[in-house]
Amino acid sequence: MAVLVIAAFQLQTAFSGQLSEEAKLIGTWTTTSCSTDSSGNPCPYLPDSMEFFKDNTMTMSNFDTKHFPFKTTLTNEEKLAIEKRDPDTKGKNLLLIKHRPDINWADTRMMYVYSVDKNELTLTLKGWKPAKFGRIAK
């Protein structure tokens, strides 16, 4: 019985045509437009490329092959804590990356406002112009 329920859920998900927010990120992304500050200096907090995996980990070109957990689906408590720290994030899609396993998701400093439109990923950090990434086909 449990197998039938799981199979039905998987079929419903497969045919719904909607991907989870994390699933939209899966794959390899490379910079197409760098993030800069108001003086035109490049942002040191964004890599040249990133790869997101189905296990909700990701790698960044500026951190060798180290895998970091990531999430985009936040709890209400996490959203409220982040919005309290940075009111500009209210109502925005957030990508959180844990650079240390011992910190809470709401406390991570690796936080980006993001959007995915087909094969383009946009990441924005407060005080920086948005960076654009293109998905690399495999």
In this prediction, residue 11 carries a pLDDT of 38
List 38's β-bridge partners, or say none. none
* Domain 19-136: top CATH class: mainly beta
Tens of pLDDT, residue by residue over 10-63, are: 434 444 455 678 899 999 999 999 999 999 999 998 999 999 999 999 999 988
Residue 62 near residue 42, CB atoms below 8 Å: no
Token reading at 99: 């650079």
Residues 6 or more apart whose CB falls under 8 angstroms from that of 19 comprise none
pTM of the shown model? 0.82
Q: Where are the domains of the chain?
A: 19-136
pLDDT above 80: residue 9: no
Whether the CA torsion 106, 67, 91, 20 is positive or negative: it is negative
pLDDT above 70: residue 119: yes
Percent of the chain with pLDDT over 90: 72
Token reading at 82: 């982040």
Tens of pLDDT, residue by residue over 39-54, are: 999 999 899 999 999 9
